[in-house]
Structure 1
Amino acid sequence: MKAVQLFGHRLDLLRAITQPIPEPKGNEVLVHLRATSLNYRDFALATGRYQTHLPLPFVPLSDGAGVVVAAGPQVREWRPGDRVIGHYTTAWQNGRFDERYHQSKLGGPLDGLLQEFRVLPETALVKTPEHLSDREAATLPVAALTAWNALQDLALPTGAWLLVQGSGSVSLFALQFARAQGLQVIATTTSENKMAILRELGAHEVLLTRDRPEWGKQVYQSADDRGVDGVVDVGGNVTLAQSLAALRGGGAIAMVGFLGGFDAAPDLTLPMLVKRARLLGQSVGSREHFQMMNRAISAQQIRPVIDRTFAFHEYRNAWEHVGSGSAVGKTVIDMAA
């Protein structure tokens, strides 16, 4: 079968390989992967921006969807022909997060899903929503579940104000979920070309923040001049100060990304205290969360936003596209193309 492995921290060290199709044993399931998708994490891993200590080589990509083709003798939940999606943090089934779960993540340190076939424990899969294609389903494991859990943790009431940042996949999923929950959403972007899609997805207001370093005040004023109740922050150190400026007293920030890197953030102690703000770190979600999210996606008939789809042999182009920052939504690799 065809696959890709990452041999170092440059994109030219992503290399196509051929390896045998594995056989499922015990409670394992063999999945024929039909589509995978990229997250910023995958670009950061491949370019040495994140977790450079992970053992190499490994098969990248945490997101993928396909069909069960074989199952071990102890499998009870799946049978051949079932459409499934991989669960990113395989050991996190339910309940409270444990730091040890980081070692069970697909696409580093465990081999990921940029391969034609993958054997996984039966508990590392969830059912694909019936209305979604495999390409659409492949976008859900990291970005959608991160956005879903961020909103669950923020626990905002109907009619509350939410700020989302940019047009990356986490922000777009957060916008879609928020509108389905009856929230009022303010979206920011640095590109005039991306304002239309944010409005189409239901943002009440879209603010162009290019050349406006103090955009938090503008967001605050747009939310009835009282500030937003919650923020889904994707930038980390480069956006947290403005997220706080946009927040109303007693509000909360779900910190989901690190687009700004890992340098020290500005001193946030005083604004955190003054606003009695809460900062909620996110680490995607459990399998139980994933199943809950998929039920909501099915009930609301939500469809992911796909920016571009690449053929398998164009995998490096897919990484470059994610790294360009130009994508609006998810970047997908069609394993059959």
Structure 2
Amino acid sequence: MNSTMHRWEIPSAGIGKLARNEVRRPQPKAGEILVEVEAVSLNYRDQVIAEGGMGANLVFPFTPASDMAGRVVALGEGVTRFAVGDRVISTYITGWIDGAPLSWADSPTQGGPINGMLSQYVATPADWCVQAPKSLTPEEASTLPIAGLTAWMALVELGNLHAGQTVVVQGTGGVSLFAVQIAAANGARVIVTSSSEDKIARAIALGATHGINRSATPDWQDAVRALTDGRGADHILEMAGGDNLRRSLQAVAPGGRISVIGLLESDEVSLPIMPLLGSRASIVAVAVGPRRVLEDLVRMVDVHALKPVIDATYSFAEVPQAFEHLKRGAFGKIVVTVREA
């Protein structure tokens, strides 16, 4: 085994400063596993953090990206969770095993402030990984730790989704398309909103039952009401923030649930209190989830043969191009294949 490897790093804030550097290959310490990284999926937060955002206190040089799938190639002393040869995926919130959420200080996140995964090998605590789904390729499995888990957490773990309910999914990014598939698999009626007719058609092919073009119908909340005979949706995945949250409040059914996941339009929230009180709706912030819930998701993926939607796959040499695609927007996920062909 060579003593060096390659990883992508930035010397200071700025995704445009990415450089592929040769560094010493890490060795697993007690309680750690050495993982040969096979695939890394990119998330919106990866670019924001690399630009110096989201309050992450980065130590440079810094390697971006939190989500990986790989193969265990060595064990540190005392490791019993995994064996050499096991396929694993990373967790995102490192200290959150189960139960109530921990503070950010008590559970730092991978890919910022903790060094990320765009590396040929990573040495990581065994407790920060779970077994990968047996039914997925490494590229597919790498999409689960943030996007898949966030959708599952919002709808199933916290939302208690069941058959016959109506779910509104905003947009067609990674979290949104996981939500379409998970909701459809649970027998829910799924309404997807997008500014693209082509993307709406593709989402319907994945299990959505209706699509609303937000460009043609800016007051999409009225269309949701019409599709539900005036009742509204039981679950809404709020991806934009800002004024869009007001529309979600108008579209939610009495006693329904709005899961605030994204802030694509604004990181500020302002709502009139009387409509909120009148709706008796719950507005809940969803920030991924604990390790135990990721393990639940892995089991569901294998049982239901769910296949993550990957818009494009880039080679390890094409990481800057992958981030450019992420910035343009994607239908589903952008993935980097790390292992050499």
Unaligned runs of 5+ in 2: none
Percent identity for Structure 1 against Structure 2: 37
| Cα distance in structure 1, aligned partners of 2:186 and 2:55 | 35
Summarize deviations over 1:198-232 as a string: whole Å, max 9, x none. Answer: 11111110111114332111112212321001111
Q: Secondary structure at the match of 1:196?
A: helix
Summarize the alignment of residues 71-86 of structure 1 with structure 2, pairs less than 5 Å apart. 71-86=75-90
CA distance 1:75–1:158, change in 2 (3 Å): same
CA distance 1:29–1:200, change in 2 (3 Å): same
Instruction: Check whether the contact 2:161–2:186 (CA below 8 A) recurs between aligned residues.
Output: no
Instruction: Check whether the contact 1:92–1:101 (CA below 8 A) recurs between aligned residues.
Output: no
- Cα shift at 1:234: 1.2
Instruction: Check whether the contact 1:154–1:253 (CA below 8 A) recurs between aligned residues.
Output: no
Q: Secondary structure at the match of 1:229?
A: strand
Task: Report what 1:287 is aligned to.
Answer: 291
Which of 126, 133, 140 is matched with 1:129 structurally?
133
For normalisation by structure 2, the TM-score amounts to: 0.94
Which of 325, 328, 332 is matched with 1:324 structurally?
328
CA distance 1:180–1:16, change in 2 (3 Å): same
Task: Report what 2:259 is aligned to.
Answer: 254
Structure 1 residue identity aligned to 2:163: T
Q: Does 1:106 align with 2:123?
A: no
Q: Secondary structure at the match of 1:321?
A: helix
Instruction: Check whether the contact 1:103–1:109 (CA below 8 A) recurs between aligned residues.
Output: no
Q: Does 1:225 align with 2:221?
A: no
Q: Does 1:34 align with 2:38?
A: yes
Instruction: Check whether the contact 2:165–2:189 (CA below 8 A) recurs between aligned residues.
Output: yes
Q: Secondary structure at the match of 1:156?
A: coil
| Cα distance in structure 1, aligned partners of 2:47 and 2:229 | 38
Structure 1 residue identity aligned to 2:71: V
Task: Report what 2:247 is aligned to.
Answer: 242
Task: Report what 1:334 is aligned to.
Answer: 337
Query: Pairwise CA RMSD of aligned residues?
Result: 1.5
| Cα distance in structure 1, aligned partners of 2:27 and 2:19 | 24
Instruction: Check whether the contact 2:56–2:113 (CA below 8 A) recurs between aligned residues.
Output: no
Instruction: Check whether the contact 2:65–2:110 (CA below 8 A) recurs between aligned residues.
Output: yes
| Cα distance in structure 1, aligned partners of 2:42 and 2:327 | 10
Q: Secondary structure at the match of 2:158?
A: helix
| Cα distance in structure 2, aligned partners of 1:286 and 1:111 | 19
Which of 54, 57, 65 is matched with 2:61 structurally?
57
Moved over 4 A (4+): none
Summarize deviations over 1:273-296 as a string: whole Å, max 9, x none. Answer: 121111111110111010011111
Which of 172, 178, 184 is matched with 2:183 structurally?
178
CA distance 1:102–1:235, change in 2 (3 Å): farther
| Cα distance in structure 1, aligned partners of 2:234 and 2:170 | 15
Instruction: Check whether the contact 2:96–2:107 (CA below 8 A) recurs between aligned residues.
Output: no
Q: Does 1:199 align with 2:217?
A: no
- Cα shift at 1:267: 2.6
For normalisation by structure 1, the TM-score amounts to: 0.95
Structure 1 residue identity aligned to 2:27: E
Instruction: Check whether the contact 2:94–2:107 (CA below 8 A) recurs between aligned residues.
Output: no
Q: Does 1:120 align with 2:107?
A: no
Structure 2 residue identity aligned to 1:159: G
- Corresponding residue pairs, total: 335
Instruction: Check whether the contact 1:89–1:102 (CA below 8 A) recurs between aligned residues.
Output: no
Which of 146, 150, 165 is matched with 1:146 structurally?
150
- Cα shift at 1:329: 0.4
Structure 1 residue identity aligned to 2:61: P
